[in-house]
Chains A and B, each alone.
Chain A
Amino acid sequence: MADDIVREFLTESNENLDTLDRELVLLEKDPQNHNILGSVFRSIHTIKGTCGFLGFTKLEKVAHMGENLLSALRDGKLALNSEIASGLLSMVDAVRRMLEAVETTGQDGESDYRDLIEKLTALQRPSGGGAGSLAGSNEETDRPASGKNSVGGVAATNTNSEIRDQSPRGSAGAVPGDPLQRRDKRGFLEQGKIAPDEGARAREMGTGTIRVEVGLLDRLMTLVGELVLARNQVLQFTSSLESASLAATSQHLNLITTELQESVMKTRMQPIGNIWSKFPRTVRDVAMNCGKQVRIEMIGQETELDKTIIEAIKDPLTHLVRNSVDHGIERPEVRVTTGKGAEGCLTLRAYHEGGQVNIEIVDDGAGLDHERIRRKAVERGLLSAEKAAQLSERDAVNLIFMPGFSTAETVTNVSGRGVGMDVVKTNIEKIGGTVDVQSTAGTGTTVKMKIPLTLAIVPGLVVLCADKRFVIPQVSLIELVRIEGSQARTGIETVHEAPVYRLRGRLLPLVYLEHELRLERNSDRAADDAVNMVVLQADGRQFGLIVDEIRDTEEIVVKPLGRRLKSLKTFAGATIMGDGKVALILDVLGLAQRASILSEVHDRAVDSCDSENREKTAEKQTFLVFAGPDDARMALPLGALSRLEEFPASQVEKSGMQWVIQYRGQILPLIRLSLILEERRRRPRHGQSPTLPKDSGSIQVLVCNHEGRSVGVIVERILDIVEGQADVKSPATRAGVLYAAVIENRVTELLDLGGILTIAETSWEREEEHVKVGG
C-alpha cells in the first residue's frame, strides 16, 4: 500500500520535474511572466508537500529551499537572472537524483546537498530580504487565503475571488496565481497527501487520459497478433466451405481484427514532443557552458512514432542537438560580425513523409567546412588525399559520420571526443533509419533523419533456403536479381575464392545464405538452376545474398528472440507466419559482419571506394527503363520508384472514374500512360472508355512515390535497370515527359511523374463530367 503511494509519487514527481525543466528555461527568457512563475512554484510545492508527508526529509529540505527562492521571485523581492535560474535547475537535478535514489533504495539518498542549499540560500540574499523569505511566503499565502475565507460572508470585499470561486474546480486549478490556487497551497500544507491526489485526478480527467503500463500494451499487441493469425486461419477455412453466412461473419471478423490491430498499434504511438521537451534545457545548459546564445524552435512536436523508436532515437537526437549548439552555432560576437543576430537559432522539425518520419535538426551557424573535413579525414587516415579531393561537397560533409572522426579543435566536455557522429549513424541505422547531413558554409547545417514509424510491424521479404523460410526486412533491401540459364553458371566469378557478381559494371560481393547459416540440404541443387540474389545494404555497403527462392513480401510482426538467443547476431528476431509457423528474421548487419563484408579494415577501404562510386553516380543516374504505350522507350529515375509489381488484371477495381487496386491495405490509384500521354500516332480516342487488358491476364505496375503519395503507373513492359548519363537531352515533345535523353545508345523519354499526376487528376475529373453529360 505504502509502496503504491511512493510509486505514484515518483511518477508524478518525475513528470513535474520535466515540466519544471521546460518552464524554468521559458521563465529565464521571460522573467516577468507570472503564469509560468506560478506554475513553477506549484510544481515544486507539490513535490515538497508530498515528500514531507512520505518522510523524505532531505528531499523536502532541498525542495523547500527552491520554493523559498521562488517565492522571493514571485514576490518581486528578487529578479530572475541566469545565476538564479542555474541554481533552480541544479535544484531540479538534485531532486531528480534523490527521486532516483528513492526508486532504487526506498530512501532519499546519502548526500544532504549542503552546497546546493547554501547556494540557494545565498541566492536569496542580494535582494536584502534579510528576515528570510520563508516568512515572506507564508505572509503571501495567508493573505489571499483569508480573503477567500471572507467570501462566504461579505461578498463585496473581493469580487474577483468570488467570480473565480464560481468557476469549475478543474479550470481554476489551471490558472496560476489564482486565489484558489493559493488556497490549494494552504490545503497542501494542512492536509499533506489528499491535495496532490486531487490535483492529479483533476489533471487526468481534464485531458481525458489515463496511465497504462507499457507491459499491458505489449501484451495487448501480442494478443492482437494472435488474433490476426486466428483470423487468417478462419479466412482460409471459410474459403473452402460454401456458406454465405459463414463468409459474411468471417468478413466481419476480418474487418474488426484489422481495425483492432490498427488501434492497438496507435496506443504505442507517442508524439516526438515527449523527447523534445527536454531539449530547451539541454540547449540552454550547453549554450551557457560555451558562452553562446541559442534559441530553440520546434515544429511538428505532435508527430507520432512508436514508443520503441522514440526510445531508440532519444540519445542520437540529444547528441545531435548538443553538437549543433556546441559546434554549429557561433559565439555571439562572431555572429554579429558576420551580420547575423547574436542569438543563434536551432530548429527541430518532424513530419511524416511516405510512411516514414523525417526529423531535421537545423542550425543557422557557421556550417561545415568541407575543406577542413577533407583535411581531417586524410590526417586521420580515413581515406587517401586523392580520394578525398574527388569527393563531392556533399559526400565530404558526410565524412563526419565515419568512425574516429572529429573536427572539434578543442575537446570540450560536451562533444569532440571522436565518438559520436558514427555512433549516431549506427544507432539510427540499427532501427532501419538513415541520417544525412547537408551544410552551406556561413548559413548553417541541416541533419536529416528518416525513421520508420514502427518497429513492431515491418514489411519483409520472405526467402527460402534449404527448405527453410527466412524474412529479410524491407529497409535493407535494394533490389532482386535473378540470373538464369547459362548466366547462372558463368555470371558468378571469384576473386581469390570470394564470389562476386558484376552488377552494372560494379563488383558486388556475394554471400551464400546456406554457407553462412550452415544450413543442411537434403538434396543438392541442380547446377543450372537459376540463381536468386537479394541485393542488400548494410551500413552503406552492398552485397548480394544468394538464396534458393524468393517469395512474396509480407507485413510481419517482429518478436524478439529472447535473452537466451540474443548472442545470435545473424537474426533480428522471429515472426509468426500466416500458417502459424515461426520464421526467423535475418539481421542484415549481423549477417554482413559474419560474412566479413563489414570488417574494420575492409570497412574503410570499401567505404571510400563506395563514396567514389557515389560520386560517379551523382553524374550518372540509375534509371528504370520500360516500354510505355506504343512501345515508346521511357525511363524513370530509380529513386522515384518504391516497387515494381505485377497484378492480375482481375484485381483492378474502379472507384469513381479512377482505376484502383488494393495494395498493402491501401487503395492505390492506377494511371494508364496510354490515356495520359499524347499519342505519337493519332487515333480516335473520344467516346472510347478506358479498358484494361483483361485478356493478357496481368498488368505491370510501377509503384511510385510522389510527394508522399503512392501511385501506380501501368506500363506495357519493364525492360531493364541501367546506369546512364542523361546529359544528351532534347526538350520534351509531349506533356508528361521531362525531356528525352540518350540512355544506353537509345533515345529514351524521361517520365515527369508530377506532370502525369496532374494530367491524370484533371482527366479523372473530365471523365466524370463526361459520364455525367453522357448519362
Chain B
Amino acid sequence: MAGPQQFCTFYLEKYLFGIELLKVQEVIQQLELTEVPLAPFVVRGLMNLRGQIVIAVDLRRQLDLSDRPRDRPAMNVVVRAGEDAVSLLVDDIGDVVEAGEETFEPPPETLQGRVRSVILGIHKLDKQLMHVLDTDRACAVAEHEQAAVDR
C-alpha cells in the first residue's frame, strides 16, 4: 500500500483505536436505542439513523472490557460493513490521524483474548500506540455469541 493512510481514531477506556477513514460513514452522538431481546451480548440495540435501521455494537463488550458507566453517553462511529451500516459504540472520538506503513506492526505475540482477533495491528504513533481495528470482525455479532456459548 503506497502512501500514508488516514484513520478515524477513538478511545475505549484508556486505549486508542483507529479505523480506516474510508470505511467510516459518519460519527454521531448517542441516539436512542431500542433493545433487541435475545440478541447477542455485544448488540446494544437498534437505532434510527435518518430512516435507516442500524444495529449498534458495543465495542467495549466486543473487546471484553467492562461496561461504560451508565451516566456516560457513548459516541457512535457508523461504519459500512458489507451491505449494512453498523454503529460501533465507543467512549470518545479522537482526531483523524495519518500513519504510514513504516509505523505499522502486527499485534505482539503476548496480546491475547478477544482484542487480538479484532485488531489488524498496531501503529506506533509519536505519543501513543494506536490499535487498528478490523472493521468486519468488529462488526461481527454472531461469532461472538458462539464464543460466549463456548466459554
A-to-B contact residues, CB < 8 Å = 222-223, 225-226, 229, 468-469, 517-519, 559, 561-565, 567-568, 570-571, 574, 576, 580-584
With A563-B84, A583-B34: A568-B39 Cβ-Cβ less than 8 Å: yes
Chain A contacts for B50, CB-based, 8 A? 226
Chain A contacts for B36, CB-based, 8 A? 565, 568, 571, 584
Minimal beta-carbon separation of B118 from chain A (angstroms): 15
Minimal beta-carbon separation of B97 from chain A (angstroms): 28
Within 8 Å by CB of A468, from B35, B52, B141, lies B35
Interface contact B37-A517, CB-CB below 8 Å:
yes
Instruction: Write the B42-68 contact mask toward A (1 if CB under 8 angstroms, else 0).
Output: 010111101111010000000000000
A-B contact count (CB 8 A): 68
Residue B148, interface by CB 8 Å: no
Question: In chain B, residues 1-44, which have Cβ atoms closer than 8 Å to a Cβ of chain A?
Answer: 32, 34-39, 43
Within 8 Å by CB of A562, from B37, B47, B84, lies B84
Of A222, A223, A570, A582, most buried by chain B (CB within 10 Å of CB) is A582
Residue B83, interface by CB 8 Å: yes
Within 8 Å by CB of A570, from B38, B51, B140, lies B38
Q: Beyond the given A518-B38, A582-B53, please list 20 additional residue pairs across the A-B interface where CB-CB is below 8 A.
A: A222-B52, A226-B50, A226-B51, A468-B35, A518-B37, A519-B37, A561-B55, A563-B84, A564-B43, A564-B140, A564-B141, A565-B55, A570-B37, A574-B34, A576-B51, A581-B32, A581-B48, A582-B45, A582-B48, A583-B34
B-to-A contact residues, CB < 8 Å = 32, 34-39, 43, 45-48, 50-53, 55, 82-84, 86, 139-142
Chain A contacts for B84, CB-based, 8 A? 562-564
Within 8 Å by CB of A581, from B34, B38, B82, lies B34
Specify the chain B residue showing the minimal Cβ separation from A470. Answer: B37
Minimal beta-carbon separation of A231 from chain B (angstroms): 12
Interface contact B35-A564, CB-CB below 8 Å:
no
Of B38, B83, B141, most buried by chain A (CB within 10 Å of CB) is B38
Chain B contacts for A580, CB-based, 8 A? 48
Within 8 Å by CB of B86, from A517, A559, A564, A571, lies A564
CA distance A471 to B35 in the complex (A): 14
With A468-B35, A571-B36, A582-B34: A565-B53 Cβ-Cβ less than 8 Å: no
Minimal beta-carbon separation of A614 from chain B (angstroms): 33
Chain B contacts for A570, CB-based, 8 A? 37-38
With A225-B51, A574-B46: A564-B34 Cβ-Cβ less than 8 Å: no
Within 8 Å by CB of A565, from B35, B43, B52, lies B43
Minimal beta-carbon separation of A738 from chain B (angstroms): 48
Chain A contacts for B35, CB-based, 8 A? 468
Interface contact B53-A567, CB-CB below 8 Å:
no
CA distance A580 to B32 in the complex (A): 9
CA distance A571 to B51 in the complex (A): 19
Chain B contacts for A584, CB-based, 8 A? 34, 36-37, 46
Interface contact A564-B38, CB-CB below 8 Å:
no
CA distance A762 to B50 in the complex (A): 51
Within 8 Å by CB of A568, from B38, B48, B82, lies B38
Specify the chain B residue showing the minimal Cβ separation from A559. Answer: B53
With A223-B51, A562-B84, A576-B48: A517-B34 Cβ-Cβ less than 8 Å: no
Minimal beta-carbon separation of A191 from chain B (angstroms): 41
Interface contact A564-B51, CB-CB below 8 Å:
no
Chain A contacts for B142, CB-based, 8 A? 564, 567
Of A519, A570, A576, most buried by chain B (CB within 10 Å of CB) is A576
Chain A contacts for B140, CB-based, 8 A? 564
Chain A contacts for B43, CB-based, 8 A? 564-565
CA distance A225 to B84 in the complex (A): 18
Minimal beta-carbon separation of B134 from chain A (angstroms): 16
CA distance A584 to B39 in the complex (A): 12
CA distance A223 to B142 in the complex (A): 29
Interface contact B38-A517, CB-CB below 8 Å:
yes
CA distance A582 to B48 in the complex (A): 6
Interface contact A563-B34, CB-CB below 8 Å:
no
- Jot down 21 A-B pairs with beta carbons below 8 A, ordered by A: A222-B52, A226-B50, A468-B35, A517-B38, A519-B37, A562-B55, A562-B84, A564-B43, A564-B140, A565-B36, A565-B39, A565-B55, A568-B36, A568-B38, A568-B39, A570-B38, A581-B34, A582-B34, A582-B46, A584-B34, A584-B46
